[in-house]
Structure 1
């Protein structure tokens, strides 16, 4: 039986967006993110990370560096009793300087590729799922994938009017999402 998921953007939602974060020393968690993600799991949601990582295509850091940081991040969550059900990333950008990744793809948000992969691999019910992101492209990707609830948070990029219009609700951070979702059940 399909389960609902909370799709979560990384930079600006899980961690402070310092711009092209690629190493542990620059990775600063949003206050309360561990408690919030645990509460989301307790509400019965799968947790799925969906993150654009154009820094790989731009040559700012390697895919190996990204994967090392992601493994470290994932273990931090496990140490706090929270396990992600899926981790998806897009290393592409059409204007990238690394030839291997300099391309248009179907995984880079606002495209729905990462969501579709997660849906197929994890048997997700998109109509009961949620996206938590900090920009319009997160909301667009969720819409393209058929994700029913779109939460925009103020903890990342400056919230634009366009992003607000695409979102179902605007919250201060991921910390407010469990209460919001619990009240809707």
Structure 2
């Protein structure tokens, strides 16, 4: 049911118009289609103007306002990263605030104190090895973190014990025909 039917419903009680198979009916149909198209445009505008629901050009518009683009490629990942980047403020220097801001790189990155003043360690708990797009992420992370901090990156890889727990024999691993880099990331 579209606007054409809504217009007919408004005029039907007046009983002075022929609403079906007439010029009046055709005009209502044309106006209804035009209103339906405008409703679709307004729905798209409403969706794209809010960062929490944007999926396409709305995300691109917000990204255009920022120096760096998040590494995420999914709309949900981009939304979360942009929200984190927009939360960064002048008081974002506590460890909790820094970790919240690091979500702006588009991947789960966690900062931890090392015990050495002025040194923080960044690791990616969800991604074994060096994450794809790390160069771009590193630039974002170094823009987010206070410039007086020495940043050390920590990467983790699959261990022999982890591989033994996951695969019964080495033949199971060879059946996958992985490269050495892929073996390092088998978790």
TM-score (norm 1): 0.25
Higher-strand-fraction structure: 1
Larger Rg: 2
Structure with more relative contact order (C-alpha pairs < 8 Å, separation 6 or more):
1
Higher-helix-fraction structure: 2
